Amino acid sequence: MLPNSLVELDRAHLIHPVASYRGHEQAGVRVLKTGRGATVTDAAGRELIDGFAGLWCVNAGYGQDKIIEAATRQLRELPYATGYFGLGSEPAIRLAAALAERAPGDLNHIYFTLGGSDAVDSTVRFIRFYYHALGKPQKDQFISVMQGYHGSSTTGAGLTALPAFHAGFGVPFDWQHKIPSHYSYRNPVGSDPQEIIKASVAALRAKVQELGPERVAAFYVEPIQGSGGVLVPPSGWLKAMRDTCRELDILFVADEVITGFGRTGPLFACEDDGIVPDLMTVAKGLTSGYCPMGAVFLSDRVYETIADGAGASAVGHGYTYSAHPVSAAVGLACLDLYENGLLENGRRVGQRLMAGLRGLADHPLVGEVRGRGMLAAVELVTNKEKKTPLPAAAEPGRRIFDRAWDNGLVVRAFPNGVLGYAPPLCCTDDDIDRIIDRTRRTLDETLADADVREAMTG
């Protein structure tokens, strides 16, 4: 089938996630055909470095034979096994055990989902059930962080704090609350790490006080806020928030959907901060995007309370595809690759990525470079002193994405002119250098735009 007819079929029938439907109909789809390592090729044969690993998920890179073989083997042997009726499959059991062994602290109990959104959604159900089991059903208020992203399910979208996920959808619900982000580049308390930590702890305390400590169930964080623009908290922030939750008797949920599986260096970013959450969510790198899968980790205490609370009755939460054997086989193969070279390579090239991006700081459009490991962002401004964002009328997100694409680079271009990077951990030095070179070329071309120049001199 010719790409042109594919574009027409897509236009007529395929609804794309988080897109302007009318805008997409006009622009048409770009079809990707093949991938190898950190490179993808489109239907016209154009090769691009995937600086965003699909949607920050193809951590292992494309074309990994070990993953493909594991999936194929499992498809032949047993393509599906339900977890209902006390049934199971070997890869799912082995993956749960392997994850529990590697997880921080006593996060020993794993519930598999299909991705991150239903993992977050599952945490809400588990947490509500946990407090019912404890005889505290009134603990039903949830707090998350501004600029946070916790998926697109009906409940998760309300924990998410990005306006596009709320407008027109009737969320957040009245039990979903937010505190300000640690976003250090634009924080009203300034950029001093200790001041930011103090302000966040105070904001959490104040919010719990306002809602009534006996009513608050849980606090959700991403170790690094991804979809909000790769916002890295000051060192010690995560631990301070975790400690505060323990003191206030509210559950601490770490959403590691992006940060898990080597994205920031270790297997889980919580390890960077030496903390153990009460619940943890993962997806994306768990199967490197080869098959859909997510997971919720429950601590011993949360699991035992739920189990005892339910007693002989069923805990009524389940999905047809929970612990899918093919996804689990893929997860095991990914884990093997991570631990036999990929995590180490990611840490090495992550330093090259950060150094390369920091080398762009002298560019007239670069306001801030931030990140950790293979997760980074470059925030563009037209005035460095005033931190003036690129003019919205310039549609910086779309324009920069298109331009980077023409330069052979896939990058996340947020609508406010922040560029996001999350390349596969298998990147070579050359791949990283190409990402940096192509970014600089894209920035130079953007600098030449009349409306951007006008905003800079105006």
Q: Where along the sequence are the contacts to ligand PLP (CB under 6 A)? A: 115-117, 120, 149-151, 222, 226-227, 255, 257-258, 283, 294
In angstroms, give the least distance from the CB of 421 to ligand PLP: 15
How far the first Cα of the chain sits from its last, in Å, is 50
Closer residue to ligand PLP (CB): 129 or 149:
149
Residue 299 beta carbon to ligand PLP: minimum distance, rounded to whole angstroms: 19
Q: Which of residues 149 and 268 has its CB atom nearest to ligand PLP in the complex? A: 149
Residue 148 beta carbon to ligand PLP: minimum distance, rounded to whole angstroms? 8
The residue sitting closest to ligand PLP, measured at its beta carbon, is 116
Helix, strand, coil abundance in the chain, percent, nearest 5: 45, 15, 40
- Note whether 411 and 423 are within 8 A (CB): no
H or E element that contains 221: strand 216-221
Distance (Å) of CA 120 to CA 3, 68, 117, 151, 291: 37, 28, 5, 7, 18
Kindly tell me which of 116 and 331 has the beta carbon lying closer to ligand PLP. Answer: 116
Q: What is the Cα–Cα distance from 370 to 183, expressed in whole angstroms?
A: 11
- Look-up: residue for tokens 């690993």? 53
Q: How far is the CB of 340 from ligand PLP (least distance, A)?
A: 26
Closest-CA residue to 306 (of 296, 293, 319, 295): 296
Nearer to ligand PLP, 17 or 45 (CB): 17
Return left, alpha or beta for 225; rule: phi > 0 is left, psi -120 to 50 is alpha, else beta: beta
Residues 360, 433 contacting (CB under 8 angstroms): no
Rounded to the nearest whole angstrom, what is the least distance from the CB of residue 17 to ligand PLP in the complex? 8
CB 215 within 8 Å of CB 138: yes
**Least gap, CB of 229 to ligand PLP (angstroms):** 12
Q: How far is the CB of 394 from ligand PLP (least distance, A)?
A: 26
* Nearer to ligand PLP (CB atom), residue 57 or residue 302: 57
Report the residue number, 149 or 261, with the smaller CB distance to ligand PLP: 149
SS3 370: strand
Residue among 231 and 435 whose Cβ is closer to ligand PLP: 231
Closest contact distance (angstroms) between CB of 297 and ligand PLP is 14
253 neighbors 218 (Cβ within 8 angstroms): yes
**CB-nearer residue toward ligand PLP: 116 or 417:** 116
Q: Report, in Å, the least distance between residue 115 CB and ligand PLP.
A: 3
| Shortest Å, Cβ 181 to ligand PLP | 13
Supply the minimum distance, in Å, between the C-beta of residue 281 and ligand PLP: 6
Q: Three-class SS of residue 123?
A: helix
Specify the residue, 290 or 434, whose C-beta has the smaller distance to ligand PLP: 290
Q: Select from 367, 363, 417, 56 the least CA-distant residue to 184.
A: 367
Q: How far apart are CA 16 and CA 10, in angstroms?
A: 9
The H-or-E segment that residue 206 falls in is helix 193-211
Q: Which is nearer to ligand PLP, 284 or 438 (CB)?
A: 284
Nearer to ligand PLP, 390 or 413 (CB): 413
**DSSP string for 374-433:** TEEEEEEEEETTTTEEPPGGG-HHHHHHHHHHHTTEE-EE-TTSEEEE---TT--HHHHH
**What residues contact 86, with CB distance under 8 A and at least 6 apart?**
none
Name the burial class of residue 209, with classes exposed (0-12), middle (13-18) and buried (19+) by CB atoms within 10 angstroms of its CB: exposed
Specify the 3-state DSSP secondary structure of 39: strand
